[in-house]
Amino acid sequence: MKKIVFNTLLLVLLATAVQAQDKFFTKTGKISFFSSTPMEDIEAHNKTTTSVIDTKTGKLEFAVLMKAFQFEKALMEEHFNENYVESGKYPKASFSGAIANLSDVNFKKDGTYKVTVKGNLTLHGVTKAVEAPGTIIVKNGVVNAASTFNISPEDYKIAIPNLVREKIAKQIKVTVDMNYEPLKG
């Protein structure tokens, strides 16, 4: 009898533990972008990305503040905010999507999994469907997700004056690096 009670308790405990670990989140995820041209390299980093991943459904959400991108040069940051992404008007960028090959990932088992993420990226007030390759690493109950993909400023109606067009790459490389922790319910 004691054993049955114990087993039931264990089951209940396990069930809640599993349920609580369906969702992983971070508020200090890193997103950086890199523009490389023969004239100039431009790099910016943001370390305060909020993101949630639901391991049950494969759903992914990212949100980032444009003004929190930090550049090496103050002038680049100023131009980025005022002239290009107009962060006063469009303060956030977000991505909402899902892992297309969720069945290939086992969030309960340590390992490295290749994924494809599909969804919508909203930037500068424009929403576009994007698809990006990524890697998910599960280790000791924490989930790391990384991805690198390209976006073009023109796709998001970001106008770049001809004078500086040669200094900004046609394809901007975006790098995403998230260390998720289990969301305790």
Partner 1 sequence: MKKFILITLAAAVIAAIVGFLLYNKPHRDTASAESDFVVEAPVLLKEFTENEAAANQKYLDKVVAVRGKVKSVTPDDEGNINLTLDADNDMAGVICTFPKADAESAGSINEGEEVTVKGVCTGVLMDVVLIRCVVEK
Q: Which residues bind partner 1 (CB under 8 A)?
A: 27-28, 30, 47-48, 50, 63-65, 67-68, 70, 73-75, 77, 88, 91-92
Shortest distance (Å) from residue 27 CB to partner 1: 6
Give the whole-angstrom CA distance, residue 125 versus residue 47: 22
Shortest distance (Å) from residue 113 CB to partner 1: 22
Give the whole-angstrom CA distance, residue 130 versus residue 76: 26
3-state secondary structure of 9: helix
Shortest distance (Å) from residue 71 CB to partner 1: 9
Task: Name the amino acid, one letter, at 28.
Answer: T
Nearer Cβ to partner 1, position 14 or 164? 164
Nearer Cβ to partner 1, position 101 or 135? 135
Nearest in space to 71 (alpha carbons), one of 98, 44, 110: 44
Nearer Cβ to partner 1, position 160 or 183? 183
Shortest distance (Å) from residue 8 CB to partner 1: 30
Nearer Cβ to partner 1, position 79 or 173? 79
Shortest distance (Å) from residue 52 CB to partner 1: 10
Phi and psi, residue 123, nearest 5°: -150, 135
- In Å, what is the CA distance from 36 to each residue of 14, 39, 182? 50, 8, 36
Nearer Cβ to partner 1, position 52 or 100? 52
Structure tokens that stand for 34 in this block = 């890199």
